[in-house]
Structure 1
Amino acid sequence: MVISEINTETIILNAAEKLFSIKGKDGTTMQEIADEAGINKALLHYYFRNKDKLFEQVFTAAVQQFTPVLKTIIADQNSLFEKIEKICSAYIQMIIQHPYVPVFVLSEVNKQPEQMIQKMFNGELPDFPALAKQIQKEVAAGMIKPVDPRQLILNIISLCVFPALFKPIFIMSTKTSKREFTQLMQERVQFVPKFIIDSIKK
């Protein structure tokens, strides 16, 4: 593949991600992607046969930037509170940058869970059992309030991810602008871990 072809593919992927982030997969057309990339539709189809193939590549690139970070955070030797802060930051920052990811995961994971896990984690899930053991040790040592580790892990993920799924309803019902919503999400990088830590800290 020559350099110009590599550049064209990158331009297409960047254009597609921009539109997917704004309009979602279903709301974006191949013609709009071609227009955003500054190419004709025939050239777009030369690189990507259809929107599904293009979206899959954009999605895979986004989650494969995130999942190694998550695995590293969970596996490292930091304190539980430090891990909670870093996990929340990683999830929320990923959602701010790639807002289409949670919606797509939700729509696909129940249809084909094994394929989705492979796409997201290359078949190797984050070591949540190790995190659960760390939570159990903190409880046993009297460092945090008694809590089922599974419930705590679900709370961490839910508080980070759910706002992205609820975004359209939240924006309409609260008359919040998209810019204000993004600001709220940025504030949640600090708010969510503090909320979780305060709920379990003695």
Structure 2
Amino acid sequence: MDTKHGSATRLKLMETARELFIAKGVDRVGVREIATKAGVNLSLMNYYFRSKENLLEEIFEQSIKDNGQVLRGILNEDLPLEEKIYKYVNTYIDILTEDPLLVPFVLSIIHRNAEQAPRLKAVHTLYNTETFSNQLKHEAEVGKIRKIDPEQFFISMISLILFPFAIKWLIGYRMTFTPGQMAKFLEDRREHVYDMLINSLRP
């Protein structure tokens, strides 16, 4: 089989499956529907992925691996704490703005496979890093910030970033936002989240 054509077919199947999973829910979409919508023979679908679970895992890995590595890279950079937090918040929001369906999709996969999620390689890119934890501890020891649990701070940071994207449609409904107003609201989160995080660290 032509490698270039095969790669294009795999990508088409993954993109189609992702769209269907987000629109209908993972458990309401079968491999036949994915193959039909993608215009691919079902036997090819089975050849590439063998099962829907394998397909799900590959989409999950693709969805978060590269972005997760970028975000972990920021946490490990040799930057002043405030600059690092600012860069992390803005980069994360850039990622979510570019792909607003990423949060609900990833959450649905993790919840569906809660016990198996830790074995997915890409999951580990979503964790805090030792470098960032040690930086928070050191800053507290020298009196630059108040003493804080690094894991609690990290969870608070990603929660402030992610949650509005997870409930984007609810916010839009509650506030009767137009698409433009919703985009502006999420854009304003950059400074709002950064200010909250920095204020929470002040001695």
**Structure 1, residues 39-71: CA drift from partner, whole Å, max 9, x if none?**
344443333333222111111111211222122
TM-score by length of structure 2 reads: 0.75
Alignment of 1:31-180 (within 5 A): 31-96=32-97, 97=99, 98-99=102-103, 100-109=105-114, 111-112=115-116, 114-116=118-120, 118-121=121-124, 128-167=129-168, 170=171
Q: CA deviation at 1:196?
A: 1.4
| Change in CA separation of 1:165 and 1:13 when aligned onto 2, cut-off 3 Å | same
Query: CA separation of 1:24/1:65 partners in 2, compared to 1, >3 Å: closer, same or farther?
Result: farther
Unaligned runs of 5+ in 1: none
Give the CA deviation at 1:201: 3.9
Unaligned runs of 5+ in 2: none
Q: Distance in 2 between matches of 1:179 and 1:65?
A: 28
* Distance in 2 separating the partners of 1:200 and 1:187: 21
Q: Is the 8 A contact 1:30 1:51 kept in 2?
A: yes
Q: In structure 2, do the counterparts of structure 1 residues 140 and 112 end up closer, same or farther at CA, with 3 Å as the change threshold?
A: same
1:92 to 1:153, Cα distance in 2 relative to 1, 3 A: same
Q: CA deviation at 1:94?
A: 4.1
Q: Percent identity?
A: 27
Verify the 8 A CA contact 1:95 1:101 in the aligned structure 2.
Answer: no
Structure 1 vs Structure 2 CA RMSD: 3.3
Question: Which has the higher relative contact order, 1 or 2, with Cα contacts under 8 A spaced 6 or more apart?
Answer: 1
- Residue identity matched to 1:102: L
Aligned length: 198
